[in-house]
Amino acid sequence: MLSDLLQNNRRWSEGRRRDDPDYFGRLAALQRPEYLWIGCSDSRVPANVITGLEPGEVFVHRNIANLVHRGDLNLLSVLEFAVDILEVRHVIVCGHHGCGGVRAAMEPHRHGVIDHWLQPIRDIADNAEAELRHLATGEARNDRLCELSVRSQVTNLARTPILRDAWARGADLRLHGWVYGLSDGLLHDLHCDVDSLLAADARRPVA
Ligand code: CO
């Protein structure tokens, strides 16, 4: 029931104020998150819940299949605000196994506008065709493709003028690629960090 949501909210707000009367006063005055999260819109991968972070601790951008399109004004605006104004220290691209967006990208039939959105995933799959071919099941191929896509999105981020300018002025800022397992609720580091112009220059875009 929709009314449950409003009721839940009142209960939550009251509980917070009971524990800490100044809780909302402090939050309203300032947000200083250390993290920017770029994740999938999938309802099963809520950034705050799976990382145990509180309101005010993570700035969040989500879209279908956690993609970093170079001309996406929505994502670029979020990135610029997070990097230049909030001065986050970490940008995390988080994909997840069993991603419906990745699966849809590899299906032969049309879905709609989403087929345009998901084109980078098909490009990554074409590039990694030799590796993906050896995996036994469609599920394993899609899960590996999720991971390859996260790495590719980290590279796309590293090549944005926003991040290059931040590193050029000496900002302490690190990009990370993670993948989340729907079946066990665990996050895994894909070890594709980028933390400098030098590291960014070493990365080549996949697609
Ligand atoms: Co997804």
Neighbours of ion ligand 1 (CB under 5 A): 40, 42, 99, 101
Predicted confidence (pLDDT) at residue 207 exceeds the cutoff of 70: no
> Residue 203: what pLDDT?
87
For strand 174-180 and strand 187-189, is the pairing parallel, antiparallel, or unpaired? antiparallel
Q: For residue 96, how far is its CA from the centre of ligand 1 (angstroms)?
A: 6
- The Cα 5–Cα 2 span in angstroms is 6
Catalytic residues: 40, 42, 44, 96, 99
Q: Which residues contact 166 (CB under 8 A, 6 or more apart)?
A: 83, 84, 173
- Tell how strand 35-40 and strand 58-63 pair up: parallel
pLDDT of residue 204: 79
pLDDT tens-place string over residues 71-129: 999 999 999 999 999 999 999 999 999 999 999 999 999 999 999 999 999 999 999 99
What distance in angstroms lies between residue 74's CA and the mean position of ligand 1's atoms?
18
How remote is the CA of residue 47 from the centroid of ligand 1, in Å? 13
> What's the rounded Cα separation, in Å, for the pair 193 and 200?
9
Tens digit of each residue's pLDDT (9 = 90 or more) over 170-189: 999 999 999 999 999 999 99
Report the separation in Å between the CA atom of 6 and the middle of ligand 1, taken as the mean of its atom positions: 27
Arithmetic mean of pLDDT, 130-151: 96
Q: What is the phi-psi region of residue 121: left when phi exceeds 0, alpha when psi lies from -120 to 50, beta otherwise?
A: alpha
Mean pLDDT, residues 49-59: 97
Note the pLDDT tens digit of each residue in 41-52. 999 999 999 999
Task: Indicate the pTM of the whole model.
Answer: 0.96
The band of 36, judged by pLDDT with boundaries at 50, 70 and 90, is very high
Domains of the chain: 1-30 (no CATH), 33-202 (3.40.1050.10)
User: How confident is the prediction for the chain on average, in pLDDT?
Assistant: 96
Q: What is the Å distance from ligand 1's center to 170 Cα?
A: 34
Which amino acid, residue 60? V
CB 193 within 8 A of CB 176: yes
Bigger pLDDT: 30 vs 9: 9
